[in-house]
A and B are shown apart, each in its own frame.
Chain A
Amino acid sequence: GAGVSQSPSNKVTEKGKDVELRCDPISGHTALYWYRQSLGQGLEFLIYFQGNSAPDKSGLPSDRFSAERTGGSVSTLTIQRTQQEDSAVYLCASSPSGTANQPQHFGDGTRLSIL
């Protein structure tokens, strides 16, 4: 079956522009996560969605970052007024349920470059 799909795979934009990144989770997975991987850094949690519950936004680095998940499936991560420090690979993962300790399966990410 299809895995987690992310688009675009690469995005280059100018500082100050807004960007939208898309994630399509594995069919039937109710939990969806966004992480960020900066050059030479590990993976950093951003936001988590589970079903119709309010998302856990505790990892978002600033109010320029937001995300939504429509219909309990596809999610978009939006970064407003991009800064050079936003350059990173943005990874999406999904898991079968939102219970603790569930295996997470990742997409190949969107590589974002801010000029």
Chain B
Amino acid sequence: GENVEQHPSTLSVQEGDSAVIKCTYSDSASNYFPWYKQELGKGPQLIIDIRSNVGEKKDQRIAVTLNKTAKHFSLHITETQPEDSAVYFCAVPSIDTGRRALTFGSGTRLQVQP
């Protein structure tokens, strides 16, 4: 099955700094890469996704970059704010389910210090 590794597991930054979270995956045929933000007591919220026909996608302060050759993709958050503090998960479609269900990374706990 698909193997997804996510780093770092925890990340602490000062407000206004940038944060980068990286995921590597094993299935070279994967072509959809979402990122989710999960706040305490809530379900994961889709914040950005990218398909393999592009190398980068931006939405205001967040961006995702994809390197298909190296099989990794990264979430970039610029000008971090305290409300960005949450757990972030990457995911890739699971080969075992015909790429319908998702296989998730282990999560990154981001803390933005005011």
Contacts and interface: CB of A to CB of B under 8 A. Distances in A.
A100 B93 contact: yes
Given A42-B89, A42-B106, A91-B44, A100 B99 contact: yes
A35 B31 CA distance: 21
B98 A104 contact: no
Contact of B100 (A42, A56, A91): A56
Max chain B Cβ within 10 angstroms of own Cβ: one of A43, A56, A102: A43
A101 B42 CA distance: 23
Given A45-B97, A100-B99, A101-B32, A106 B43 contact: yes
Interface string B15-47: 000000000000000011010100001111110
Contacts of A50: 100
B103 A45 contact: yes
B49 interface: yes
B100 A108 contact: no
Contact of A31 (B31, B36, B91, B100): B100
A25 interface: no
A39 to B, nearest CB: 12
Contacts of B97: 45, 48, 56, 58-59
Given A33-B101, A59-B101, A45 B94 contact: yes
Nearest to A41: B106
List the 3 closest pairs (A to B, CB-CB), nearest first. A101-B32, A106-B43, A100-B99
12 contacts: A33-B100, A35-B101, A43-B102, A45-B101, A45-B103, A48-B97, A56-B98, A93-B43, A101-B31, A101-B51, A104-B102, A106-B36
Interface of B: 31-32, 34, 36, 41-46, 49, 51, 89, 91, 93-94, 96-107
Given A41-B106, A42-B107, 10 more contacts: A4-B43, A33-B100, A33-B102, A45-B102, A48-B101, A56-B98, A56-B100, A102-B100, A103-B34, A106-B43
